[in-house]
Amino acid sequence: MSEKEIKKPSQVSGENTEKKEEYSLSDDRRVKVLSPGALVAKRFFRNRLAVTGMVILIAMFVFSFIGGLVSPYGQDEKFYRYDIQTKDYAGIIHNEEFRYTVGDKDLFKSTVQAQVFLNIQKGNEKFDYKGTTYELEKISDDVYIIHCQGKVVGIASKEMVNSSSNEEKSLSFDMTLASLTAKAKGDDSFTVDGKKYTLDEDGVIFNESGKEIGYVSAYVVRPIMSDVFFTREFKNQLIDAVERGDESFKFTDDNGNEAEYILKYDAATKAWDVKQGTATRVFDTYASPSKEHWLGTDRNGMDMLTRLMYGGRISLIIGFIAVAIESIIGVIMGGIAGYFGGWVDGLIMRLVDIFYCIPSMPLFIILGAAMDAANVPPMIRMLYLMLILGFLGWAGTARLVRGQILSLREQEFMTATEAGGIAVSRRIFRHLIPNVMPQLIVVMTMGLGSTIIMEATLSFLGLGVRFPFASWGNIISDVNDTYVLTNYWFIWIPAGILLLVTVLAFNIVGDGLRDAFDPKMKR
């Protein structure tokens, strides 16, 4: 044999080494050496839809738990604005009919006033009423003086005499009589009780020292509140605004307070209603999206974007804790029922049937009413909500765990644990339950979506999370007002979208996990 045909062992070994480096294992062979967890992860991440759902969930967690930390606003921080608040303030009438000033209330009653009006229309100078004679003295077409039994008992006029003093809101009958008579005759002065008064062309009355004490006007201004007094300046501006046909005017009082007054004519009463508008600090409710508030504000003047962040945190926490509670109870009850069987299994399954039959919504309504009556604080109410949701939802998990354990307990590895003398609790929770975890994880993931929907429904109905805490459900509850639904889209659409996307992502991830845990899946 030649040297070329003879090869050294080192050479052969070198060639084999080169072949091993040149020819790597195929994909299928490499998959076979992966751990079960890595295999599940690989199958999951090959599912693009499941990965998309996972990315959405991560984004929701970042938005809810980190967004609230970086937000410049607090969960219950309220914002204010100054708004013009109007209230009924006064009424003003341009008097075109006779009004009566009573001098003797026994002789000039309302029935006599009606007779005076009728006789003025007829042009009579006197009339008899119930055996009493009344005389009408005409000063002008707008002023009549009524005499009876040798004295003046009343005045019928289309103008009224108003006081300019806050202390004395009405002038005496003699002052009214003298003022109306002087104005009707065109006199510029008159005397009452030995004191001389002057009357200018605008009907303003001054005393001897030149102080204004009243005025004669055809406009009647009456305040809504009896303790409110109108100054002469205010009445003049009000009358001027009415005569000009203005819809509003501004007036500054003696203390420097400026207010806006809105005039509205009522054709039925032939009067103007005067509303006072004052700048009031109010909640900045339903403010449109702006630079300061990207999604506007809600009905309490709170930043909507911040409320959505904290609302997502509450909804996710409630969902996870409720699912954790129902999973723990379900695993314990289902594990015991599946392993022991017999009467223990029968008892637990009948208990599961009972929980399946409990009408959850009526129960939530009753418990919500009870907590309202007991004035349960919002934080304690939220804890009760998590406990109740978890306690009522364990039946499905228990049935799943029982079914899986019934099929696993007869396999060889369980026979080995029994032969090895391992304790029953260790057999259940260290050997059986871990083999049920893949299916349990899928059920928990898909159950999170339904739990969040249930919490949102209860909060929308006012049975779940209460103010000041936010959840996506009680944020959407603002749409119970049709006006809000149609005009303030930024109140409910963002919360609805977040709720929809989150629940959809949980369902997509659950589907992806189910496919990844399925040993029959090839990819």
List pLDDT tens digits, range 115-158: 999 999 888 999 999 889 999 999 998 899 999 988 999 999 98
- CATH number, span 36-79+292-517: 1.10.3720.10
C-alpha to C-alpha distance for 51 and 62, rounded to whole angstroms: 16
Most confident among 167-176, 335-344, 497-506 (mean pLDDT)? 497-506
Could you tell me the residue ranges of all domains in the chain?
A: 36-79+292-517, 90-282
C-alpha to C-alpha distance for 412 and 417, rounded to whole angstroms: 9
Question: How confident is the model at residue 472, as a pLDDT?
Answer: 87
> How many degrees, rounded to 5, is the angle at CA 242 between CA 238 and CA 247?
95
Given a cut of 70, whether residue 32 has pLDDT beyond it is no
Give the mean pLDDT of 459-484: 80
Give the mean pLDDT of 496-510: 90
Query: Is the distance from CB of 495 to CB of 311 less than 8 angstroms?
Result: yes
Amino acid residing at 447: G
Within 13 Å, how many C-alpha atoms sit on residue 467's CB side? Answer: 12
Given a cut of 60, whether residue 167 has pLDDT beyond it is no
Question: How confident is the model at residue 3, as a pLDDT?
Answer: 47
Burial 202-238 (b: 16+ CB within 10 A, else e): ebbbbeeeeeebbbbbbbebeeeeeeeebeeebbbbb
492 vs 439, residue with greater confidence = 492
How many of the other CB atoms lie within 10 Å of CB of 484? 16
Give the mean pLDDT of 277-301: 87
Given a cut of 70, whether residue 93 has pLDDT beyond it is yes
The 3-class secondary structure across 85-107, one letter per residue, is: EEEEEEEEEECCCCEEEECCCCC
Burial 135-146 (b: 16+ CB within 10 A, else e): bbeebeebbbbb
pLDDT tens-digit map of 38-60: 777 888 888 899 899 999 999 99
Question: How confident is the model at residue 51, as a pLDDT?
Answer: 92
Q: Burial, 388: exposed, middle or buried (Cβ in 10 Å; 0-12, 13-18, 19+)?
A: middle
Tell me, rounded to whole angstroms, the distance of Cα 326 from its chain centroid: 32
pLDDT tens-digit map of 292-348: 999 999 888 899 999 999 999 988 988 889 889 988 999 889 888 888 888 998 999
Amino acid residing at 444: M
Which structure tokens are listed for 426? Answer: 């260790």
The proportion of the chain whose per-residue pLDDT surpasses 70, expressed as a percent, equals 90
What's the DSSP call for residue 26? P
Count helices and strands in the chain by DSSP H and E runs: 19, 15
Give the mean pLDDT of 451-458: 84
- Mean pLDDT score of the chain: 83
C-alpha to C-alpha distance for 365 and 497, rounded to whole angstroms: 26
Question: How confident is the model at residue 368, as a pLDDT?
Answer: 82
Residue 84 makes CB contacts below 8 A (sequence gap 6+) with 260, 277, 278, 279, 280
Strand runs labelled E in 103-150: 126-129, 132-140, 143-148
Listed in sequence order, the DSSP H helices in 341-432 are 342-357, 360-373, 378-392, 394-408, 412-419, 424-426
Q: Binning pLDDT at 50, 70 and 90, where does residue 12 land?
A: very low
Question: How confident is the model at residue 31, as a pLDDT?
Answer: 45
The residue count of the chain comes to 523
Backbone angles phi, psi at 420, to 5 degrees: -80, 0
Helix (H, G, I), strand (E, B) or coil at 369: helix
Given a cut of 90, whether residue 518 has pLDDT beyond it is no
> How many degrees, rounded to 5, is the angle at CA 241 between CA 238 and CA 244?
150
C-alpha to C-alpha distance for 162 and 214, rounded to whole angstroms: 5
Query: Is the distance from CB of 175 to CB of 181 less than 8 angstroms?
Result: no
Residue 301 makes CB contacts below 8 A (sequence gap 6+) with 78, 79, 80, 283, 284, 285, 287
- Residues of the chain by 3-state class (helix, strand, coil), percent to 5: 55, 20, 25
Amino acid residing at 324: A
Looking at the DSSP bridge assignments, the partners of residue 161 are 216
Given a cut of 50, whether residue 1 has pLDDT beyond it is no
- CA nearest neighbour of 399 among 448, 355, 441, 429: 355
Looking at the DSSP bridge assignments, the partners of residue 108 are none
Distances (CA, A) of 490 to 241, 300, 468: 41, 14, 19
Helix (H) or strand (E) holding 156: strand 151-157
C-alpha to C-alpha distance for 63 and 136, rounded to whole angstroms: 86
Given a cut of 90, whether residue 231 has pLDDT beyond it is no
